[in-house]
A and B are shown apart, each in its own frame.
Chain A
Amino acid sequence: MKLGFFLRESLRALRRNAAPSLAAFATVLITTLVLGVFIPVVRAATAKSNEVRNKIELEVFIAPDATKAEERELGNMIRDLQHVDAVTYVSKDQALRILRQRLGDRSDITNDLPGNPLPASYRIKLDDPSNAGAVKSSLEPPAANGEPRPISPAIDEIKDREDDTQKILSATSTIKLIMAGLAGLLILASVLLVANTIRLSIFARRREVEVMRLVGATNWFIRWPFVIEGLIVGFLGALVAALLLWLAKVTVVDPWSDRFALIAAPQTINFTFLIVLLLIAGTAVSALGSGITLRRFLRV
C-alpha cells in the first residue's frame, strides 16, 4: 500500500539527509528536556503559593459580655455571608489549649494566669483568599460617619492580619504571574525553535520538492513522507528526552525529595502524565511543522 511507500520514502530521506534530521532531533530533544524540567517546577511553585494562600482566614473575636444566643446568632449570620467556605467556633477553653500547644515546653506559664483571658472566636475559611476584604466589610459595614459598625453586638474585633494577607496575596500573585509568563515564553521558544530547524531542513531540499512537482506529484504525495519524517524525528527526540528525565528522576530527584519541600510538593505534576504529554507535543509539533512548512515550496 501507499503507507509502506511513504514510510520507505521518509526512511530514505532520513538516511540520505542525516545532518538536518540530526539537528531537528537534537532540537526536539533539548527543548523537551528543558520543558520537562521546567513544567514540574512551575507546577510545584504554583501549588506552594496556593497552599500559602489557603492558610489565610478571618478571625472574629467575640465580645466577653455577649450572650450565648447572640453568639449563636452571629455564627449563623457569618455562615450566610457570601464567599464564606467554612466556619469553626473556637471556645475560650479551646483557645487556651491552642496557646499552650504553641508554647510547648513553656506552657506552664499559662498556669500563672488569673483565669482565662482569651476570647472565644469564629474562624472563617474563605472560598478565595482575595475576598478577605469583602467579607470583613460585610461584617462591619461603614456607618454614615465612616466608622465601621459591626452587624452584631457580639463582635468584639475582626482580625484578618491585614498586612500579612496583603503581602502573601501580592507575593503569591507575582510568583504565579512570573511563572506563567516564563512557561509561556519557554513553550513559544520551543515551538519556534523546532519549527525553524524543520524549516531549514526542508529548505535544503526545496529543489527536490520542485522537481517532484514538475513530474506530476500531487501535494500530498510529496507531503506525507515529510510529515512521517517529522513524526519519527519528533518522537525519537521526545523519547530520548523522556528517558533522560526518568533517569534524572530516579537518580537525583527521588532520593533528595525528602530534603526539599519544593520537590516534594504534593501537587507536582504526575510524572507519567508529564512524559506522555511531552511525547505527544514533541511528535505533533515536529510533524505539523514539517507539513506546514512544506506549503511554501509546493506552489510551483
Chain B
Amino acid sequence: MAAIDEVLYPGRARLPGTVNPAVQVRGVTVVYPGGNVGLDNVSLTVERGEFAFLVGATGCGKSTFIRLMIREIDASRGEVLIAGTDVAKLPRKKVPKLRRNIGTVFQDYKLLPNRTVYDNVAYSLQVIGATRASIREKVPEILRLVGLSTKLHDYPDELSGGEQQRVSLARAFVNHPPLLLADEPTGNLDPDTSKGIMQLLYRMNRTGTTVIVATHDADMVDQMRRRVIELSQGRVVRDQRGGQYH
C-alpha cells in the first residue's frame, strides 16, 4: 500500500510501526435514493495483504460495499477509510487517483465498447501516463495470464461473457494496484475457468495485493479457505478466518 499512501498523503511521513489497514469501514449505512438500504451499520477491517471473500445472497450488499470503496456512491452514515484516508472527504480532484490505486473487476465488466481487448486493458495504463513501451510490454503479458492471447484485437461484443470478465480482470490488475476488488469475478464462468481466475487472484494476493472478492460461488470459497465475511440484508452476520461458504 506504499504507493497509495504516497498519493493520498504526498510528502507526509508515516509514524514508524503504524500501518493503516487497507480497508476500514466504521458504522457505514448506505440508503439508496428509493429508500432501499444497501448496507446497514457495517463495521469491518481488512488488513494489508489479506484475501477476503464477501458472501451472501444477491441484494445482500456485496456490490454496494465495492461501489463504496471506489466512491462510486457515498455512505449515508459512517466512514470508509482506504489506507487510512476517509474517501468521503477526498476532494473530487483526487478521486481518479484513488481509483487508479484500486483495481476493480465489475460485475457487468464495464468494458469500453469501442476498443479492442488490447486497448481496453491499455486504457488503465494510459490513464496513469504509462509509456507506450511499457504498455506494449505489460498488456500482452497480463492477457496471456488470463488466457486471452488470441483475442487481442477482438471487440468486447465479439467475446463471450467469461472472456469479457477476464478482460475486466486483466484491466483491473495490469498496473498492479495495492488493492483489488472483484465483484462476482467467476459469475459467468465454467468451473475450470473459474478455478483459473481464482488461482490468478491468489497469485496476485501473494505479490502483496489486498484482495476482496464478492461472490456466491460456494465451491470456490470452500476450496480457498480464506477469510469469509457474510452479509445478509446489509448487515455482517459472520466474519470468519479460514471459513467456508455456509
Contact = CB atoms under 8 A, between A and B. Distances in A.
Given A215-B171, A300-B72, A221 B111 contact: no
A15 to B, nearest CB: 9
Contacts of A221: 96, 127
Contacts of A215: 99-100, 104, 110, 123-124, 127, 171
Contact of A216 (B106, B110, B115, B128): B128
Given A214-B99, A216-B97, A216-B99, A208 B114 contact: yes
B127 A211 contact: no
Interface residues of A, number: 20
B218 interface: no
Nearest to A211: B110
Contacts of B97: 216
A294 B66 CA distance: 26
Contacts of B98: 216
Contacts of B111: 211
Contacts of B145: none
B237 to A, nearest CB: 29
A214 B123 contact: no
B23 interface: no
B96 A216 contact: yes
B113 interface: yes
A294 to B, nearest CB: 15
Nearest to B100: A216
A contact face: mostly helix, strand, loop, or mixed: helix
A217 B115 CA distance: 16
Contact of A214 (B93, B101, B110): B110
B126 interface: yes
Interface in A98-138: none
Contacts of A214: 70, 72, 99, 104, 106, 110
Contacts of A265: none
Given A214-B104, A215-B99, A216-B96, A13 B127 contact: no
10 contacts: A210-B110, A212-B127, A213-B96, A214-B104, A214-B106, A215-B124, A216-B99, A218-B93, A221-B96, A300-B72
Interface in B103-149: 104, 106, 110-115, 123-124, 126-129
Nearest to B110: A211
A159 interface: no
A216 B72 contact: no
Given A215-B124, A215-B171, A208 B99 contact: no
Contacts of B126: 5
A13 B119 CA distance: 13
Interface string B210-222: 0000000000000
Nearest to A299: B92
Contacts of B99: 213-216
A17 interface: yes
A295 interface: no
Contacts of B106: 214
Interface in B18-72: 70, 72
A80 B225 CA distance: 106
A218 B96 contact: yes
Given A212-B123, A215-B171, A218-B96, A13 B128 contact: no
Interface hub of A13, A207, A212, A215 (most chain B Cβ within 10 A): A215
A137 B10 CA distance: 79
A300 B129 CA distance: 21
A293 to B, nearest CB: 18
Contact of A212 (B70, B72, B93, B112): B112
A137 to B, nearest CB: 67
A167 interface: no
B96 A16 contact: no
A210 B109 CA distance: 13
A210 B129 CA distance: 19
A216 B166 CA distance: 19
A13 B127 CA distance: 17
